[in-house]
């Protein structure tokens, strides 16, 4: 996400990354990923659960997750020691201003990442909310 | 299985997240004045 920060700023949108480890893990995450923007964590997983994001063993051992992990390594992403809940998968939402939802993505496997171009597109002023 | 239609943004916004100093922030503070793209990640240290 680090390389997309400027594009979100240009779209007048805030990019916020939320993990699920401890607060003390966050500096290491920034160092590893190069992401220097807004970074938070939810060790309780309540926000992940509220969004319906998947937490399952099969999500991290699926074949496509392994392929995705290998691709990430090839692209220069090197996972360190897992911190937080290893079974919890991620996702993305775009909200606001106000209580309007513009984008929703739920990862099904460990290697699933929301397409950043889709997220950016949903940040455009003329993009309608998913439902009113 | 939940979908985009199944969650209440209002109550979701009251949930807290923590910064690196351990300070609590309600999610709704992120989208009060501008659109907020929130990416929830699996956490690698």
Instruction: Give the structural domain span for B40.
Output: 1-45
Q: What is the pTM of this model?
A: 0.81
In sequence order, which ranges of chain A are alpha helices (DSSP H)? 5-10, 26-33, 46-50, 58-61, 63-74, 116-122
What is the distance between the alpha carbons of residues A21 and B45, in angstroms, rounded to a whole number?
8
DSSP for A20-33, please give it.
SS-GGGHHHHHHHH
B37: which chain A residues are within 8 Å (Cβ-Cβ)?
Answer: 8, 13-16, 92-94, 103, 119-120, 122-123
Residues 16-55 of A with CB under 8 A from B: 16-21, 23-29, 32-33, 38-43, 46-48, 50-53
- pLDDT (tens digit, 9 = 90+) per residue, B19-37? 999 999 999 999 999 999 9
Q: How many distinct structural domains can be found in chain B?
A: 1
ipTM entry: 0.89
- pLDDT (tens digit, 9 = 90+) per residue, A83-98? 667 788 889 999 999 8
């Amino acid at each position: 996400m680090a390389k997309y920060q400027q594009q979100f700023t240009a779209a007048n949108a805030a990019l916020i990354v939320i993990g699920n480890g401890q607060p003390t893990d966050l500096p290491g995450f920034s160092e590893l990923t190069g992401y220097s923007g807004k970074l938070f964590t939810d060790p309780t997983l309540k926000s992940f659960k509220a969004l319906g994001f998947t937490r399952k063993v099969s999500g991290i051992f699926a074949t496509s997750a392994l392929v995705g992990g290998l691709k990430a390594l090839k692209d220069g992403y090197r996972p360190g020691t897992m911190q937080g809940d290893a079974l919890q998968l991620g996702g993305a939402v775009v909200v606001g201003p106000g209580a309007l939802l513009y984008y929703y993505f739920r990862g099904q496997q460990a290697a699933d990442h929301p397409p950043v171009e889709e997220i950016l597109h949903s940040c455009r002023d003329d993009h309608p909310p998913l439902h009113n | 299985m939940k979908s985009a239609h199944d969650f209440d943004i209002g109550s979701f916004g009251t949930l807290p997240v923590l910064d690196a100093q351990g300070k609590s922030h309600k999610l709704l503070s992120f989208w009060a004045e501008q659109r907020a793209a929130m990416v929830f990640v699996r956490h690698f240290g």
